[in-house]
Amino acid sequence: MIAVILHVARKEFLQIFRDRRSLVLILVMPILLTFLFGKALETGDLRSIPSAILNEDDSPESNVIATAFSTYGEVQLQGEVPDREAAYLSLSEGKIKAVIIIPKGFMKQIEAGEEAQLQLLLDGTDNNSAPIVEGVAKRVIQRYNAERAIKGLWAQGVRPDRGRRLIQPVYVQTEIRYNPGLQYLSYVMPGVIGLTLQLLTVMLMAVSLPRERERGTLDQLLATPIARTELILGKLLPYFVISLVNVATILVVADRGFGVPVVRGLPLLVLLCALFVLTSLATGLLISAVSHSQFQAVQIAVFYVLPVFMLSGAYAPIEVIPDYIRPISYLFPLMYFSRAVRAVTLRGADFLGIWRDVVVLAGFVLVFVYWAVLAFRKRTS
Amino acid sequence: MDCAIETTDLTRRFGAVAAVSGLRLSVQAGEIFGFLGPNGAGKTTTIRMLCGLLAPSEGTARVAGVDVVQDPEGVKRLVGYMPQRFSLYGDLTAAENLDFFAGIYRLANSLRRERVAETLRRVGLWERKDALAEHLSGGLKQRLALACALVHGPPILFLDEPTAGADPPSRQRMWDLLYEVAGEGRTILVTTHYVEEAERCRTIGFMHQGRLVGGGSPEECKGRFTETLLEVDAAPVMQAAAALREVEGVTGVSVYGRLLRVFTRPGAVSAERLAAILTDRGAGARGIRPVPPTLEDVFMSLTRLAETGAEDR
């Protein structure tokens, strides 16, 4: 049994190594994908929205406001625009996403005790940036109002510290445990790692049996006394070994390129990655066992691999998925994998913290491999 | 003598279509048995059942004493199978292919190396052992496939058109090998389209539409030829053929260059009558004489008879 499995694995290795171009692809693609996905999602995290200021008032007070905006990292001031026409133009050209307008008479109205206005001109196409600029503006104005009120009270003899408490009696104090920078990247990187590991393994495994079928070699194989299990495990083994190489490189990229703390929980991470790779290989095998042709196998694999990212909580917490769709999320091994990896990298969880996910992943492997063997047996007899 | 292969009412249906029906076959140990028949006659399906690749719908078959229905995996250990289509790994070398199959048949490491080298030499592939299989010529590919079916030393070999598309020297080489292998006491069941190859077999079986319609040694087959065969030299030849096909009692006309081979029901039409008909139709016969049937004639006749028989049913 073992000897035959190793013999099949040796043949698969020979074939993989003979096809140099594919081998390079198999080894380089995961690094590239992790890097690209990570970079793409990292910039989304910066949330620095290119904005401009239209200072129609050009008074000491309006200048205070304009400068205040530049202290917030969320807006990236690209300078001033001369008039409203220029503001509309640069907005429509997409060069900037927001214009902060301080209308003429701003200071006069404040001095006269009238209600002064700060106007925001926002580009609504990008639904992310508008609320961010709005939030910044609100904080700028709140602070400005508070400072003015404190100054006003001081003029009436109230000391500034007391004045501050009068104006703002309640504070919210936040303490963020785990991922203190609230970086989206830290949340999403485990999903990116899983997605990358999954993409190739599912695809490579999915075409493996249909390829033998199309070449006619399956017929020759089945005419020998080889057991279906021996054939399937012999095919799985080489891709598992190659995937472990990919696990190593991906973890290095995640650590060096994106600051995912890999070293601390390394044994657990390797365990999770290895198990997850096995679930992906087993999924690919199942697709392989039920497909008539390589083309069909790729089709099924694509339909599996694409929705996974959205539905498995890798991209956003599964709590945002509607109730009636959420049960589907639990069918994807990626969900358990990214949850467990997040626990290890962000919370520093130990084995006791993730054992449930480990058990579920192991269960997936056993069920899928068994199912694949059954399906393959049925299809070939 | 022992029966290497014996089938009883072997039947395989695909949906409503019976690819093989009620096949009774017995092949003696150590003989080369030739399986003849047009495409779709059920030869490949029969072989696949006998190899344990396909379960019969009905009937039984014993191959090397093992029941294919009860123990298909047991059969696989005792047979070598060479499919019709090239079914080896093109991206592996000849030696790697052979080594792979030797390993799959569970040959121990030391024995395996020995057998691989020995088999490569035997089929004349030793010099090309490091060439990728896909780079080998058609004839060499077929010899490599034979080697893969032979490497574990099975007592029975199933070869599905082992010389299809090969040039005459390659075919000669293949048959030399087959005689050598049979000489070691191995039984070979081979399918072929080439009637002259069938002449080389000790026993032949004609298959038609899933049934065995005739069999025996090539001589026996010719001896059992039930029709009368006349060689007709007439011109213009196509016009003569058309005229003869309409004659009552003539069952078939084959054109061979300037000559016609005319099959008639025994005693139904005389040579004189045929000559008269031909003169009548402006295709005068220079000569009409009875000739002994070749295996091809027997094959054509059996196929035709089976077809009329099928229509009668």
Contact B174, B165 (CB under 8 A): no
Residues of chain B in contact with residue A226, where contact means CB-CB under 8 angstroms, are 104
Residues A304 and A214 both lie in one domain: yes
pLDDT bracket for residue A182 (50, 70, 90): low
Q: Which of B81, B85, B91 has the CB atom closest to A15's CB atom?
A: B91
Point out the residue among A8, A11, A224 whose CB comes nearest to the CB of B76: A224
Q: What is the C-alpha separation between B223 and A335, in angstroms, rounded?
A: 76
Domain housing A58 = 48-167
Helix axes B94-104, B109-122, angle to 10 degrees: 130
* Residue A12 domain flag: no
Q: Please state, for a pLDDT cut of 90, what percent of chain A lies above it.
A: 36
Overall average pLDDT of the A179-196 stretch: 78
Q: How do residues A291-324 score in pLDDT, each as one tens digit?
A: 989 999 999 999 888 888 778 877 777 777 788 8
Using the 3D structure, point to which of A121, A144, A167 is the last residue of a domain: A167
Boundary-marking domain end, from A167, A199, A216: A167
Same structural domain for residues A313 and A355? Answer: yes
State the average pLDDT over residues A343-357.
Answer: 89
Q: How far is B71 from chain A (nearest CA, A)?
A: 11
**pLDDT for residue A179:** 64
Do A156 and A196 belong together in one domain?
A: no
pLDDT tens track for B209-219: 888 888 888 88
Q: What is the dihedral of CA A88, A93, A99, A101, to 10 degrees?
A: -20
- Residue B312: which pLDDT band, with cuts at 50, 70 and 90? very low
Q: Domains in chain A: how many in total?
A: 2
Q: Do A121 and A243 share a structural domain?
A: no
Structural domains in chain B, sorted by start: 3-217 (3.40.50.300), 226-292 (3.30.70.100)
pLDDT at site B63: 94
Q: How near does any CA of chain A get to the CA of B238, in Å?
A: 43
Q: Is A167 on the interface with B (CB under 8 A)?
A: no
User: How high is the pLDDT of residue A180?
Assistant: 58
Is A364 part of a structural domain of the chain? Answer: yes
Distance CA B301, CA B254 (A): 11
d(CA B86, CA B196): 23
Do A366 and A248 share a structural domain? yes
Among the partner residues B55, B79, B83, nearest to A219 by beta-carbon distance = B83
Domain co-membership, A135 together with A207? no
What is the spatial distance between Cα B38 and Cα B267, in angstroms, rounded to a whole number? Answer: 29
Is the per-residue pLDDT at B313 higher than 50? no
**B81, A223: Cβ pair inside 8 Å?**
yes
Measured in degrees and rounded to the nearest 5, phi and psi for residue A157 equal 95, 5
C-alpha to C-alpha distances, A114 to A109, A110, B183, B236, nearest whole angstrom: 5, 6, 116, 119
What CA–CA distance (Å, rounded) separates A229 from A4? 10
Is B68:B61 a contact under the CB 8 Å cutoff?
yes
Q: Are residues A193 and A279 in the same domain?
A: yes
* CB of A2 less than 8 A from some CB of B: no
Residues 6+ apart with CB under 8 A from B57: B11, B12, B13, B18
Among B73, B87, B100, beta carbon nearest to A225: B73
* pTM for the model: 0.79
Residue A276 located in a structural domain: yes
Q: Which residue of B has its CA nearest to A216?
A: B87
Contact B76 A215 (CB under 8 A): no
More confident call, B270 vs A381: B270
In a domain? residue A287: yes
CA separation for the pair B41, A85 (Å, rounded): 85
Same domain, A346 and A203: yes
Residue A158 lies in a domain: yes
Per residue in B70-128, pLDDT (tens digit) is 999 999 999 999 998 899 999 999 999 999 999 999 998 889 999 999 999 999 999 99
| Helices of type H across A216-227 | 217-222
Q: What does DSSP assign to residue A226?
A: -
Is residue A269 very low, low, confident or very high in pLDDT (cuts 50, 70, 90)? very high
Asked if residue A8 belongs to a domain, the reply is: no
A232 and A325 both lie in a single domain? yes
Q: Which of A112, A133, A167 is the last residue of a domain?
A: A167
Q: Which residues sit opposite B156 in a β-bridge?
A: B79, B187
Q: Are residues A257 and A315 in the same domain?
A: yes
Does residue A216 share a domain with residue A72? Answer: no
B288-301: pLDDT as tens digits: 888 888 888 888 88
- Three-class SS string for B242-289? HHHHCCCCEEEEEEECCEEEEEECCCCCCHHHHHHHHHHCCCCEEEEE
A247 and A313 both lie in a single domain: yes
pLDDT for the residue A181: 57
The mean pLDDT of A259-271, rounded to a whole number, is: 88
Query: Is residue A9, in this structure, part of any structural domain at all?
Result: no
Which residues 194-223 in chain A show a CB within 8 A of chain B? 215-217, 219-223
User: What does the pLDDT read at residue A176?
Assistant: 66
* CATH code, A119: 3.40.1710.10
Predicted confidence at residue B226, as pLDDT, reads 82
- Inside any domain, residue A173: no
Q: What is the pLDDT of residues B131-190, one digit of tens each?
A: 999 999 999 999 999 999 999 999 999 999 999 888 989 999 999 999 999 999 999 999
pLDDT in tens, A9-53: 999 999 999 999 889 988 999 999 988 888 887 755 456 788 888
The reported pLDDT for the residue numbered A43 is: 59
What is the rounded average pLDDT for all residues in chain B? 89
